[in-house]
Structure 1
């Protein structure tokens, strides 16, 4: 619950991986409990601080310089894979309970140099020096992004450092056009952050995942990064584009051809039942989105396109990449085993006029 812990802002000296510094902390760090597990997730954000007294409202939707830190998110022991457990009124749950819900417990901020030392330390204690970066989509708050990242890495049993980049989405359904402006603004910041991560984290295997509108910033940033630093391509092992809300024609003409030059495997998940992308298509004069399936499915050399239409059962069918077991299992095999679509169980190969794609079996 937002008030589960007494929320305070204080300055403390924290020692993590042998490095100490004075940092502001929102709520006191929380230890594991027999009924829940704490997941530490690194973050970078160009959101401005909005409410220092509320961990859920700490960062808002205004633009700011990039700040860095670590969030703690608790996952209940009886967590269901794919679920982002929250209080529900029909169960008469009116506040968060760490025994039942996925809860953002704390936010710790660090100066940039200290942050990357901590990130480097976390990468160093993973089995293969792995690091995952997640960029969220439209209508997502900072706290939403923190909880989703923790849920994903927990469900994926990801052993490396988990990082999310939170750009200033308003977290409101009716702020779509405002989010479009901000995701374009944030692109340069994400490019700089990716460069810092490659140079300063000592990660040997970097995995990139973007969702929805977040793909606009990540794909462009990735292209910019590889143009200026082609030697970085060996560090990025996989790029996963989930339900990309990008103009499909722009993606095919301008973005994908540049991305595939790095020879990094690219996986694109699409669905014909994705309601937010259907709305986006209407907002954009009927032009298909890169995350559409059906007759608008994007099939390109160098991109493994997966039609996830058959697995969509969630609300709006837009977050299937993190909510549906078949997709979570598919991503698990990408991250843990570097398996290509032709070798992953549950997928059927489909011959299309312009190439090959894969589809989840019913």
Structure 2
């Protein structure tokens, strides 16, 4: 008998602890330290505790003083794990897909539940491609509807079947009794025509040896021997079933934490995903090499005759349960598996910035909750202000002359301590006064989904520099959760913030010191501008430019707002791109076209300059920040703001559809 001892499930947990521990200051006996609890099932708590006892990282690694504890939730209590996280009993939960589906129902988690269907992936590489594509974005957004924040995926190596009988096709599995300790495996066993037999991990090996069952499901993270019977006549069928889950945290816990703590957890989970993906891919290769060296027959389940038929039958049954949206999910997943969708979030290439940005001045106005802390990254959180109140001030930063176009500002930045932070009406007074010091003009920039206050401030500084804005740029920072899985919370926040912005903008436009205003919005932030425009304020004639960059707004809603906006004089410009990853996610989530999608779908309307950045987008890029990131598009937006020229006057290529013109940005030769 040859032991296979990889124990990956346990290693996943231990490595998360290691990475977290290197990020946190762990003082198990400190009564002053803040506690962080992580809960999951089927882990070795004693080993985790022993590991934690040995960790003593310098507090200089982080400003947080944390005591990290792990709770091994008993099997009989696992179904309550999600409730425990949502109630705040535990901070982070390590939960399986099946547990989430059982809690929130399959019909409410269609894209997630497809991941749990039999025969989903032929190998682990396919699994990772799906998770990293827009399919994975949709899955995390689905989960975020229910008051928990998904922080990332965790994965096990795919399990395999060990049978006494030699298996050449799916028909050979029919009627066999397959022992498994995992109840979520039953649907796969049934789909193969076999019968599941419930047994504990400790029982399955002996049951196969004694002939009580014909086969077992074996996990490469558990210690099993390859039974003698396999050497003579049996088979090992690899890539039988994948087990995947999600790291979750409650919205309330996330909002309560400091940004430093949130950042550490995000980074730790991201690093954990990366480390174990490499390990899992290696284990897949090593298992096949090991089995081949032993002379044991083995087959990839997906290579067996009949598997594809069983997969289609299983998916048809699933679609009948979830409805027609299931067809869209299957089509999108197949595209992700085939590599037709971006397989990872790429960092686009940038070029050196032209010109001197030393004159850029950036201010902020925000309705985020105010912690009163002095550090810019901690001052304004992810929660909505309780009043609500608007806070504003100046963002001071060191000019970064080597930063490239479109890249995030990475230098030092802080809130001006001389004038401090103003509130509400004092905000309007401050911004009116600073506009008068320049030319009476303000440029207001509204960020999109998935932004902390710090990340939005860094984006605003980059925008001011790249666009050569010498007037005062004002960042409107609304309370985004600042995390990939926070889409639905962000939708509620942007709706809430719209009311505050409308009042803020109305008061600002009434000030005699303010002669003109340019509005630039990105992604979900466009919803705030559209709602404000529909008010048709008398003072709206002061608005010179309205720029919609990749608007995450339903196309029909966007068109309706544009047509209803009656103010004359403002130059309205839409920047769109065909392969905008973020908007493709939004399109699937809402089952509705998005206004920021370019190409053949670009919106064209009277009184709107529609500019398509498709020709300059990156092949495998995210392509959501095009007018703020891709040099050719940035250059056109810069020209628009400085010259107030329409698209027809800026040297763009003209296109036409239904008798209306649109404009294309061309790559540089």
What is the 5 A alignment of 1:49-64? 49-50=370-371, 52=373, 54-64=375-385
Query: Partner of 2:493: helix, strand, or coil?
Result: helix
Distance 1:263 1:69 in 2: 30
Conserved in 2, the CA contact under 8 Å of 1:156 and 1:328? yes
Distance 1:250 1:82 in 2: 29
How much does 1:121 deviate? 2.8
Q: Which string of whole-angstrom CA distances, capped at 9 and with x for unpartnered residues, describes residues 10-62 of structure 1? A: xxxxxxxxxxxxxxxxxxxxxxxxxx959542211111024725421221111
How much does 1:116 deviate? 3.3
CA separation of 1:43 and 1:355: change in aligned 2, threshold 3 A: same
CA separation of 1:297 and 1:38: change in aligned 2, threshold 3 A: closer
1:238 corresponds in structure 2 to 545
The answer to whether 1:205 aligns with 2:529 is: no
TM-score (structure 2 length as normaliser)? 0.44
Distance 1:121 1:256 in 2: 31
TM-score (structure 1 length as normaliser)? 0.79
How much does 1:182 deviate? 0.9
How much does 1:102 deviate? 3.1
How much does 1:353 deviate? 1.5
2:391 corresponds in structure 1 to 67
Aligned pair partner of 1:124 in 436, 442, 449: 436
CA separation of 1:74 and 1:292: change in aligned 2, threshold 3 A: same
1:336 corresponds in structure 2 to 642
Distance 1:261 1:129 in 2: 20
Distance 1:162 1:243 in 2: 20
1:350 corresponds in structure 2 to 655
CA separation of 1:236 and 1:76: change in aligned 2, threshold 3 A: same
The answer to whether 1:137 aligns with 2:443 is: no
The answer to whether 1:111 aligns with 2:407 is: no
1:279 corresponds in structure 2 to 585
Gaps of 5+ in 1: 7-35, 86-100
Distance 1:75 1:109 in 2: 22
1:299 corresponds in structure 2 to 604
Distance 2:365 2:376 in 1: 16
CA separation of 1:316 and 1:260: change in aligned 2, threshold 3 A: farther
Aligned pair partner of 2:556 in 228, 249, 252: 249
Distance 1:274 1:261 in 2: 30
Distance 2:579 2:399 in 1: 29
Distance 2:638 2:458 in 1: 19
Conserved in 1, the CA contact under 8 Å of 2:393 and 2:415? no
Conserved in 1, the CA contact under 8 Å of 2:360 and 2:470? no
Q: Which is further off, 163-172 or 107-116?
A: 107-116
Conserved in 1, the CA contact under 8 Å of 2:422 and 2:430? no
CA separation of 1:329 and 1:307: change in aligned 2, threshold 3 A: same
1:174 corresponds in structure 2 to 485
Distance 2:623 2:413 in 1: 24
Conserved in 1, the CA contact under 8 Å of 2:451 and 2:481? yes
Query: Partner of 1:241: helix, strand, or coil?
Result: strand
Distance 1:293 1:262 in 2: 26
More strand by percentage: 1
Distance 1:201 1:63 in 2: 30
Query: Partner of 2:408: helix, strand, or coil?
Result: coil
Distance 1:111 1:186 in 2: 16
Conserved in 1, the CA contact under 8 Å of 2:530 and 2:558? no
Q: Which has the larger radius of gyration?
A: 2
Query: Partner of 2:488: helix, strand, or coil?
Result: helix
Query: Partner of 2:565: helix, strand, or coil?
Result: helix
Distance 1:198 1:341 in 2: 26
How much does 1:261 deviate? 4.4
2:407 corresponds in structure 1 to 83
CA separation of 1:55 and 1:196: change in aligned 2, threshold 3 A: same
How much does 1:155 deviate? 1.9
Conserved in 1, the CA contact under 8 Å of 2:361 and 2:471? no
Distance 1:323 1:110 in 2: 31
The answer to whether 1:148 aligns with 2:459 is: yes
Query: Partner of 1:69: helix, strand, or coil?
Result: strand
CA RMSD across the alignment: 2.3
Distance 2:502 2:640 in 1: 24
How much does 1:153 deviate? 1.3
